[in-house]
Amino acid sequence: MTWHQQRQIGDVTVHSLTDGQFRLDGGAMFGSVPKTLWERVAPADDLNRIRLRTNPLLIRLNGENILVETGFWDQGGEKFEAIYGLERDETVFRGLDALGLRPEDIHLVINTHLHFDHAGRNVTLTGDPTFPNARYVVQRQELHDARHTHERNRASYLAAYIEPIADAGLFDVVDGEHELRPGLSVLPLPGHNLGQQGVVLRAGGQTLVYVADLIATLAHAPTAYIMGYDLYPVTTLETRKQYLGQWFEEGAVICTPHDPDVAFAQLQANPKGGFVLKGL
């Protein structure tokens, strides 16, 4: 498996990494969309699960190495990994290594949100920060919600990869839209949960957006293809209506966190309304 791909956004190089494949129930991934429709774009296995990936991004901006997402929780044990059909055919560490980078070389980590399939590699097997020289950017709302879970979201968070980062004082907690570096911002994208943020990079007249679970895979681009996992599906709909038209107009490169096959994509107008995503 060679996933590694890169794109140029102005003078900024963006590398798509992957932390391997996993599987989730197709019905849960497509919410109210009938299986007869979604299985055309996302075939199910004999347990009704569809193939997904965890796809972090490395942005090389003005000499800094900025990592978006850290990877899939790696300390869940055999049963956990079987439930999620985890296959680490590639890892974020091997991806960094191929670029000549060690975890110590990462200057900034952006946690889009703190679910275990996005922030699970925030810490090492010994419980230490994986990227010891990095600040970890997270929304205040998300850090709060991860620490005050309820029955509907509890399975998505583990204190094991959150509290060591807080204890080490490495979280940079932000509220709402925030420019981290010239041309690089985080942007709240509520719906999947309240505290999710996307990442927007603008350089040389080009735009790249890491959309987080607002659009989990290319197959989720149609406006009403909303995950059953989303806590606030109507908010997901509103957030999509707020931004997709703008990103389409800008010709933005779109990176989804979980597409199993495509690293970089672009929105196209759907003749039936809304948008579809096509791989670049």
In whole angstroms, what is the distance from residue 17 CA to residue 57 CA?
A: 6
Instruction: Lay out the site mask for Zn ion across 197-226 (x = CB under 5 A, - = otherwise).
Output: ----------------x-------------
Residue whose CB is nearest to Zn ion in the complex, by number:
213
CB 137 within 8 Å of CB 111? yes
244-278 b/e with 16+ CB inside 10 Å = b? Answer: beebbebebbbbbbbbbebbbbbbeeeeeebbbbe
User: CA 229, 27, 46: angle at the middle one, nearest 5?
Assistant: 130
Compare residues 90 and 213 and give the one whose CB is closer to Zn ion.
213
Site for Zn ion in 80-139 (CB under 5 A): 117
CB 245 within 8 Å of CB 206? no
Compare residues 90 and 230 and give the one whose CB is closer to Zn ion.
230
Nearest-approach distance from CB 203 to Zn ion, in angstroms: 26
Compare residues 111 and 207 and give the one whose CB is closer to Zn ion.
111
Nearest-approach distance from CB 20 to Zn ion, in angstroms: 14
Nearest-approach distance from CB 57 to Zn ion, in angstroms: 14
Compare residues 61 and 231 and give the one whose CB is closer to Zn ion.
231
Strands (E), 99-158: 108-110, 135-139
Residues that bind Zn ion (CB under 5 A): 117, 213
